[in-house]
Structure 1
Amino acid sequence: MKRILIIEDDDTIAAIERDYLAVNGLESDIAANGYDGLAMGRTGNYDLILLDLMLPGIDGFTVCRKLREAIDIPILMVTARQEDIDKIKGFGLGADDYITKPFSPNVLVARIKANLAQYDRLKRSDTVEKQELQIGEVRIQQDSRRTFVGEREVELKNKEYELLLFLMMNPDVVFNKETLYERIWGYDAMGDNATVAVHINRLREKIEKDPSCPRYIETVWGAGYRFKP
């Protein structure tokens, strides 16, 4: 059974999340502040972390960054704020997905299950795929999940890596934001398409010589994105 760590200081919300997870066959523990959440998350006893941003003691952004330094599991951020800058900052610190309060508990459970399933699929593929994938100067070592541009190694967060790998495995194919969100985040087109744009921009900053005039990840206006071979 999958185990979820809920880091949430609102007792009522945490209890609702725990109960809905239990109904859907997911075990969970609750940490009521950032310090406890960080300590519990670092134990490696969980398959996914549900992380509120507004926490007493230590904020969710700091918790996310410190957790990502120690563990490689999905982190789903939860917040009452809707500003895009929060999403950009969260993804930059290693968050895998983002959901805004108020939300339907059923939608939350669906997002959690989708992230767990996507993570499991990626891990299974890592045990099978050992070869390198290279287009131009961009090279991915699938066994070690390492990415290089020429001889320079670039550090990619989980979803950045998955998105780049998917695009490189399907060169010159145009994918719209809805399709990319479904393929990478494992959820349908009801998801936040701005998430895709944020990750595309972050990838360009890391692999392109000139992100404003990309060589590899091309925007096809009105259609989506493609990786140019």
Structure 2
Amino acid sequence: MKNAKILLVDDEISILQMVEMVLKKEGFTNVLKASTGKEAIEIVKREPVDYIILDVMLPDINGFDLCEKIREYTDVHILFLTARITDFDVLTGFEKGGDDYVTKPFNPLEIVARIKVQLRRSRKTESVPKVNLKRHDFGHFLVDEEAGDLIVEGKLVACPAQVFLLLVYFCQNVNRVLSKEQLFNAVWGYDHLIDDNTVMVHIRRIRERIEPDPGKPVFLQTVRGLGYKLVKEA
């Protein structure tokens, strides 16, 4: 895990240096830095990275748009650094392909903790024997864990990594009510709910893909006051 290649993208040199210093103190020695979107894209095209920390406000491109471009080359975990915390900004970040976000000012140790959690989860996923991977058929849609595919009405539907992981967790716990805290712990790996928006936005993104009418969900249902459940027979 400590050999992971971390890419930091921020136009504030002081932030780049601070986060790099903390990462190296924690044993992450393979740190790449970019202060513009152009530099970030060049790095991603040139070599594989394992985790990206991406500032929203960059001099040459909006961080959300940059995230969308990065997704053309890699599906690694992208964490936004942002001073913009409105629901619209959060939604935009997730829709563009981001997986998580931290608001400025931030504690760099929190970022390190999130990186460690995500890398541990990635390694566990890679080590799961293929015989344990499953296909979950709901008639209207099918989730293939081994292939990483979501098929709706016979057509392959694009699904960002974090959205797919959340959907898979629901499939593994079909017909069970799952709280936001449970979902956050299982999919994001944090032991407490940091932000309601993160879960709610991802629930919406799942519904947009699997529901005949996302505004009236029949598969992924809300259980008021308790959480959500994926129903096998809608």
TM-score w.r.t. the length of structure 2 is 0.93
Unaligned runs of 5+ in 2: none
Q: Equivalent residue for 2:192?
A: 189
Rounded Cα–Cα distance in structure 2 between residues aligned with 1:6 and 1:109: 12
Kept in 1, the 8 Å contact 2:174–2:229? The answer is yes
Aligned AA (1:101): K
- Secondary structure at the aligned position of 1:203 is classed as helix
Q: Equivalent residue for 1:110?
A: 113
Larger mean Cα displacement after TM superposition, 65-74 or 187-196: 187-196
- Computed over aligned residues only, the root mean square deviation of the Cα atoms, in angstroms, reads 1.5
Amino-acid identity (%): 35
1:110 offset after TM fit, Å? 0.8
1:88 offset after TM fit, Å? 1.0
Q: Equivalent residue for 2:14?
A: 12
1:193 offset after TM fit, Å? 2.3
Matches within 5 A, 1:153-164: 153-164=156-167
Larger mean Cα displacement after TM superposition, 2-11 or 182-191: 182-191
- Secondary structure at the aligned position of 1:164 is classed as helix
Q: Equivalent residue for 2:181?
A: 178
Q: Equivalent residue for 1:2?
A: 4
Could you report, residue by residue, the CA deviation over 1:120-163 in whole angstroms, capped at 9, with x for unpaired residues?
23333375545422123221122221101221221110111000
Kept in 2, the 8 Å contact 1:126–1:143? The answer is no
1:97 offset after TM fit, Å? 1.0
Rounded Cα–Cα distance in structure 2 between residues aligned with 1:122 and 1:42: 25
Rounded Cα–Cα distance in structure 2 between residues aligned with 1:41 and 1:130: 30
- Secondary structure at the aligned position of 1:139 is classed as strand
Rounded Cα–Cα distance in structure 2 between residues aligned with 1:228 and 1:159: 20
Larger mean Cα displacement after TM superposition, 82-91 or 130-139: 130-139
- Secondary structure at the aligned position of 2:229 is classed as strand
Rounded Cα–Cα distance in structure 1 between residues aligned with 2:180 and 2:100: 15
Q: 1:21 aligns with which of 15, 20, 23?
A: 23
Rounded Cα–Cα distance in structure 2 between residues aligned with 1:203 and 1:163: 8
Kept in 1, the 8 Å contact 2:79–2:100? The answer is yes
Unaligned runs of 5+ in 1: none
Does residue 100 (structure 1) correspond to residue 120 (structure 2)? The answer is no
Kept in 1, the 8 Å contact 2:184–2:193? The answer is no
Matches within 5 A, 1:190-205: 190-205=193-208
Larger mean Cα displacement after TM superposition, 217-226 or 23-32: 23-32
Could you report, residue by residue, the CA deviation over 1:148-188 in whole angstroms, capped at 9, with x for unpaired residues?
12212211101110000000111011111111011101112
Kept in 1, the 8 Å contact 2:6–2:49? The answer is yes
Q: How many residues align?
A: 229
Rounded Cα–Cα distance in structure 2 between residues aligned with 1:128 and 1:31: 41
Does residue 81 (structure 1) correspond to residue 84 (structure 2)? The answer is yes
Aligned AA (2:75): D
Q: 1:126 to 1:16 in 2, by over 3 A?
A: farther
Q: 1:147 to 1:190 in 2, by over 3 A?
A: closer
Q: Equivalent residue for 1:147?
A: 150
Does residue 121 (structure 1) correspond to residue 124 (structure 2)? The answer is yes
Rounded Cα–Cα distance in structure 2 between residues aligned with 1:218 and 1:26: 41
